[in-house]
A and B are shown apart, each in its own frame.
Chain A
């Protein structure tokens, strides 16, 4: 059993990931953690929910990512009057050689990278049409199903402050997002860099770094990364510790109504595998798990009334859990 090919594949993975992040960095200033989170989710095969106030570069980040990948890109602006068929596509009557027949016209969801902008502005019916496609990678209209292209990667954005006229995603649907990333305002130096880049005569050009096949290869490699039992056990205990019934932590018992689902554990482990390969290791560490835990679990924990009323955030709960949970 030779370790050299695996070692070479891991080196190539690291180089490609670094190149991808560097290329995105040509256009996106700061937001290192967000970029890393988005790329991690892309390579782990998950979808990302980006949350932040308008104007922080969420949409630009997604566009830049699509530019750096040799993949098709579609953007859907979610509005209250958007219908499910506007996302998935619909059967239309076409006139061909004198006879009329129904032909399926594919919607924007049939792209590799889909930007669902302001997803919480659409009605639950339309949201669920997209979220079903995310989960199954399949669109069914009438009696026929169409498979979505692979890789299929959805980046949804939502604005946390304008809640009027919005339809917040239910917890069951939030669970389908691999990571939830919070986009924060840039620092002063980052803001200077943004102004330098965006108000000058030229905008930075982006080149394609990864092909579709390469992205699929990288996804396959991540699945091969082995996980040590103590690390996996830590992930399991971490997810268990978010449940008020099994946790020993007072904060969890007092403020949490439901803990994370098993999807949370899957997201942590896959995210940790990506971080391990990126760091030149062949197996994730406790540190990798700790690094992705917030992004993977913050939207999978449901606070109870006391938690909501006291203004507790799920990040605070998770930080307390991570602080107190022993590694072994």
Chain B
């Protein structure tokens, strides 16, 4: 017991010292606040304001005392004191092996007392017996900022006593209020966008879609800024372009989710057992798919082995079809290859999260297929997991049209602003350029050649990969597929097709594979394989070879030769290198 008392006393001493140090620090902070008040009073006096010196002194003292008291009542946990003691005692790891922290926890813990606990407490008390420990654990330190506060106080004293010029002699200084940065727009012109933003916000609240809510909020903020003249045209254009891109990206993700759900549901409804799940996946009500998956999970645990095999097969096919459909959705390929460079901030996080959700659903279906083949309980768990993940993907899919509408509204707003800001000749030139772009498209038979002309402003019209991804050294509009919607303007390198179309010399052999590099690190191996599957493996010969190999692999996986833990890796590898329909590079 004496050990407990000794340790408690020591902890108390350290806490008191830490509290005093905190009080001094608080007093310095209060002093700085008092100096600020004092400074304001001196400036006000120089401008002719009259005030009582007594009230100023009172305010100064009150701030000092408030800082001091604030420091004194600050909460100092005993754990912090214990760690300070451990650091002061030192030891083999320079921290006394956390003896005091452990002893404190054992003293205050609810566990039964034992000789070992007593020994631990006695040991901690013995190690910290020295009188010097409290001083070393919480040494007196000069409060931070004391030097600066003292110097400021000295300056204030001098400034207070310095003879001031008479206020009347002082030249009148026109204090300019910060005015609006740009011209105000008539609020009536913004009614349509405001309605769209409000509708989107309401839809986001109803569907709990954080991304849509954020975009609607941002649009409202821009509209407020324009209406109040706080936002100039260039800023507004830039912000609208960014937001429109984010909305488009979010809509693309939603469409990918929709396509995946549709493809998976089509496969699932072919099997009697999974028909209900397929129907629920098509329903707008998010909880329906979860409930259907859970019902199926309960049924699966009671199914015969043959039925489970059929279920497993159906889930496996649904997973493959879903994965294929989501990857073929517009914008998804470029996203996967260049996500790191192409997106930023919140938008990137949101997109990554949505991508993760798709991957998770894909994995759930694949896991379901694996587990249902092996045992009923694991099958049940896998289907429950599928049920838990389905509503999120469903929500993404339902919101794609709202996001798209919002993106279009932003784009229209931007176009209008851009045109309002142009002088008449500029506007005519712009119209001419637009018309010329259309002509070039017709000549090149390329419906998206406009991208090359509108690149300087980052117009949201996206060029497919083949129209700008591979021209070496871009003229106007040559860009990589990963940055097709970035709008970086005129290219900096000589040569290349001015419209950004693929230009391969007649004598050229082989093919170019573009792999988007991550900042500094280079692509990971899985990304290289994935990129290869998109760009290099999508041809009929490869498809045939792949089918042969994957059939042989599936057969091998079903034997015991491959350990169960490794089967996932083999399947994942083949999933990554599988041929993708309709993605064969041109010119083959």
| A interface, CB within 8 angstroms of B | 1-3, 5-7, 10, 124, 167-168, 170-171, 224-231, 257, 276, 279, 281-288, 302, 304-306, 308-311, 328
Contact = CB atoms under 8 A, between A and B. Distances in A.
B551 interface: no
Given A6-B116, A279-B97, A310 B106 contact: no
Contacts of A281: 97, 99, 120, 123
Contacts of A305: 526, 568-569, 572-573, 576
A308 B576 CA distance: 14
Interface in B58-106: 79, 83, 92-93, 95, 97-99, 101-106
Contacts of A257: 568
24 contacts: A2-B115, A3-B121, A6-B116, A7-B123, A167-B563, A171-B565, A224-B114, A224-B116, A226-B106, A226-B114, A228-B98, A228-B101, A230-B79, A230-B101, A231-B105, A279-B97, A281-B99, A281-B120, A282-B123, A283-B103, A283-B120, A288-B97, A305-B568, A305-B573
Contacts of A285: 93, 95, 97-99, 102
A221 to B, nearest CB: 8
Nearest to A275: B97
Contacts of A229: 105, 109
A1 B113 contact: yes
Given A1-B115, A5-B115, A230-B79, A310 B120 contact: no
Interface string B542-576: 00000000000000000010011110110011001
Contacts of A170: 563-565
B117 interface: yes
Residue of A168, A283, A285 with most partner-chain B CB within 10 A = A283
Contacts of A286: 95, 98
A322 to B, nearest CB: 14
A225 B120 CA distance: 9
A282 B565 contact: no
A255 B245 CA distance: 30
Given A305-B569, A306-B526, A226 B97 contact: no
B190 to A, nearest CB: 41
Given A228-B102, A229-B109, A281-B123, A306 B524 contact: yes
A276 B120 CA distance: 11
Nearest to A221: B116
B110 to A, nearest CB: 10
Interface in B164-204: none
B120 A328 contact: no
B444 interface: no
B115 A3 contact: yes
A148 to B, nearest CB: 27
Interface residues of B, number: 42
A328 B79 contact: yes
Contacts of B524: 306, 309-310
Contacts of A276: 97
Contacts of B106: 226, 228, 283
Given A7-B123, A308-B569, 18 more contacts: A1-B118, A3-B115, A3-B118, A6-B114, A10-B119, A224-B116, A225-B116, A228-B98, A228-B109, A229-B105, A231-B105, A281-B99, A281-B123, A282-B120, A282-B123, A285-B98, A305-B569, A305-B572
Contacts of B102: 226-228, 230-231, 283-285
Contacts of B98: 228, 231, 283, 285-287
Contacts of B119: 3, 6-7, 10, 282
A108 B529 CA distance: 48
Nearest to A255: B524
A137 to B, nearest CB: 26
Interface in B505-553: 524-526, 529
Nearest to B560: A124
A282 B116 contact: yes
B111 interface: yes
Contacts of A302: 565
B122 interface: yes
A125 to B, nearest CB: 10
Nearest to A254: B524
A241 B487 CA distance: 41
Contacts of A225: 116
Interface string B296-338: 0000000000000000000000000000000000000000000
Nearest to A233: B105
A163 B111 CA distance: 49
A283 to B, nearest CB: 4
A120 to B, nearest CB: 10
A204 to B, nearest CB: 30
B353 to A, nearest CB: 11
Contact of A310 (B111, B116, B526, B566): B526
A287 B97 contact: yes
Given A230-B105, A283-B106, A305-B573, A3 B122 contact: yes
Given A10-B119, A226-B117, A229-B105, A279 B92 contact: yes
